[in-house]
Amino acid sequence: MGSGAGKSGWSERRPVLFPFLLSLFCLALSEQIHYRIPEEMPEGSVVGNLAKDLRLSVHELPTRKLRVSSEKPYFTVSAESGELLVSSRLDREQICGKKSACALEFEVVAENPLNFYHVNVEIEDVNDHTPEFSQNSFELQISESTKSGARFILGSAHDADIGTNSLQNYQLSPDDHFSLVIKEKLDGSKYPELVLMTSLDREEQKSYHLTLTALDFGDPPLSSTAQIQVLVTDANDNPPVFSQELYRVELPENVLPGTTVLRVMATDQDEGVNAEITFSFTEADRITQFDLNSDTGEIIILNTLDFEEVKEYSIVLEAKDGGGMIAQCTVEIEVLDINDNAPEVIFQSLPDFIMEDTKLGTHIALLKIRDKDSGHNGEVICKLEGDVPFKILISSRNTYKLVTDGVLDREQTPGYNITITATDKGKPPLSSNSSITLHIGDVNDNMPVFERASYVVHVAENNPPGASITQVSASDPDLGPNGLVSYSIVASDLEPRALSSYVSVNPQSGVVFAQRAFDHEQLRAFELTLQARDHGSPALSANVSLRVLVGDRNDNAPRVLYPALGPDGSALFDTVPRAAQPGYLVTKVVAVDADSGHNAWLSYHVLQASEPGLFSVGLRTGEVRTARALGDRDAARQRLLVAVRDGGQPPLSATATLLLVFADSLQEALPDLSDRPAPSDPQAELQFYLVVALALISVLFLLAVILAVALHLRRSSSPATWGCFKPGLCVKPGPGVLPNYSEGTLPYSYNLCVAHAGKTEFNFLKCSEQLSSGQNILSGDSSGALFPFCNSNESTSHQVSFLKPHPTRIGDSLRPRDPAPADPKMAMRPAPGPTTSSTQRCYKP
């Protein structure tokens, strides 16, 4: 086709393709994705969730094919999770040396559509290097005539780390003659100087042994030591003196070996041998680029300098006279960059072919321009050679994108040869070029088709998580990647955040998995929209609906609504008239079940009763009725345990406890208990117990004496004298209090209510002090009945027991109860529930 035909064809296709292209192509992110990690992370460590940061879902990962485009394989992208992982060792000192900021910049490539994302990973330094001295020991000769205040440069330590992890301080072992001063070089490194505090006397001490420690401020801090031996020499009055303490010089990196850098000068005012000066490097084993003439002090270049490798050198020189006295100076050599490196063009992520309907501005390839020079020498200009439908756009520093800039027609031009030229701004400028070949491919024009119009699946609740519930299948008649289908969930009537926790679909097989156990009571049905998408470019897709119906299982036990506990957590009483006839409606047990169908059909059964046969429970209604009239031998208080079962298989159940009291009125069931004794003082109780114990011992002793006297009188006196001790003759009728006993089962105090035979009134005896374990309070009238009331130490509640008057039930139910809430009286209210009787209710603590 000619150019005119090509334009016509493009204008005809544009209205059809434009909506698809808008939805299928995305623009690259303008900002960089930034991560920060420490060095020396193990291989496989997670740097960050790259897919999430790029706003890509997990379902898109198989088609987008994220991968790292970098010269060195420090990182890789997980195909399953989209996480950026460490793939090789990250040694900050090896990668960036002494640079304060160390970052690895690279591009991440995504396909379908093709896109590039710039990633910056900052490598943080960890304290993994110990400061190290060039040698373990140093020898220093100092004349005994050296004046105090003289300084001597010591061998410095080196630490490959940076910041606080690098060498930060020096320490000297304590000595009266020496101290330490720390100085800093031009490059920021620190070195120690030994200061002579007091003059030395060789006749007193010929040598001194010191320990020099180098420390960093890492966490934990690391350190190393070097031994310093100071030898005191005989007097050499004047040490050598350099013309400068610091020499600075700049050298271009292309200076030839053998060139003299500079000449240091030193003088000595002594004469003869003491004035002969020799020069040397203090750390000769570390100086490989330079040589020093020991006689003249000239520094000569030995090897070629390279600005890209080392930008500056710091050298310490030493001048020693014939008498052994030393002087030191520092030489700082700065290397200047020259334009000696041509730029390099590196193509990355170059596709095998591009489709003929590719949209204008689509990213085709990523290319990087690398120039080892710095400043203007490292600034590069790129341009595209020839008349081709492409152009290059700058993406970031020295990174460019190759994008489409015209209509592609495979029938007219099946491929293009592209040449890119890069030129730097140095003087003179250097340039290089690189060529690639791009092939044009056909388009994807068939979308996947599902086997069914819709899917319905039934799943019973409480299914095992991770189980397969169904499978969807779609076919695509295209070939190769255009016919390869992947599946994903694109919509649902569930909450978007909760969708992934309910179901997932295998992208390759279309098998739908349940991610959790479903609950019929919470979710009975939901609908998904599944998408089948081919791997063409642009990709085509089709959707299908999947409805999931959750079936019920018997997994919820019945829950009793009535009778319920009181507001304070106490059980509730129901009162029943004493004259209640068989069939009398006492109360009703109300329960519910969260299940449905047969699993929610409830039945009620008597599980346990104080008097079997006294009450009956409706099987389906839960109504509690009297089965017979109350008998004379039946207790006034009844406890009924009712079981509620559902109709599931296996059935589940719950229980309800009913406390029933036979009484004709609330006044009869709940006497006024407002007058309560105040809580007793523990100290007063202890004193009371001591007094009672003493009284008991005295009473027992008197009883023994009286019994002995009575036996003696019985033998020696007439029967009439003993007749006074017969039963009934010395008993005074009426209520009374029996004597105390040393043993018993009632460790608490009680309030007693005594009912006299033939009377309707109640007499109450109330103890003002807590009784000991050996005390009982009983009615002297055998025809009365007892109503014990428990009073705790705190005097916060009363326990009420209702007993039918009976001659033989003296002291019945005398047992302590737990204290009730702080309400001074028993709470009374009518019993709620579906009953029409005169049943009344009270709280039981």
Burial class (CB in 10 A: 0-12, 13-18, 19+), 551: middle
pLDDT computed for residue 748 by the predictor: 34
Q: Which of 89, 74, 87, 86 is nearest to 40 (CA)?
A: 89
Burial of 694 (0-12, 13-18, 19+ CB in 10 A): exposed
Chain segment 435-482, per-residue pLDDT in tens: 888 888 877 778 899 999 999 999 998 899 999 999 999 998 777 788
Dihedral of alpha carbons 131, 132, 134, 137, sign: positive
Which residue(s) pair with 531 in the sheet? Answer: 488, 543
With cut-offs at 50, 70 and 90, classify the pLDDT of residue 681.
Answer: low
Long-range contacts of 733-737 (CB under 8 A, 24+ apart): 733/780, 733/781, 734/780, 734/781, 735/763, 735/765, 735/779, 735/780, 735/781, 735/784, 736/779, 736/780, 737/765, 737/777, 737/778, 737/780
User: Percent of the chain having pLDDT more than 90?
Assistant: 23
Could you tell me whether strands 637-646 and 653-662 are parallel, antiparallel, or unpaired per DSSP bridges?
antiparallel
Whole-number pLDDT of residue 500: 86
Task: Look over the chain and give the mean of its residue pLDDT values, rounded to a whole number.
Answer: 77
Residue with structure tokens 């409830």? 602
CA separation for the pair 515, 466 (Å, rounded):
5
Residues 484-505: what's their mean pLDDT? 90
Task: Tell me the per-residue pLDDT of 763-794, one tens digit each, with 9 for 90 and over.
Answer: 333 333 333 333 333 333 333 333 333 333 33
What's the rounded Cα separation, in Å, for the pair 546 and 97? 58
| Residue among 590, 586, 588, 587 nearest 561 (CA) | 590
Range with the lowest mean pLDDT among 27-36, 59-68, 84-93, 549-558?
27-36
Question: pLDDT tens digits for 572-622?
Answer: 778 888 888 999 998 999 999 988 888 889 999 999 888 888 899 999 999
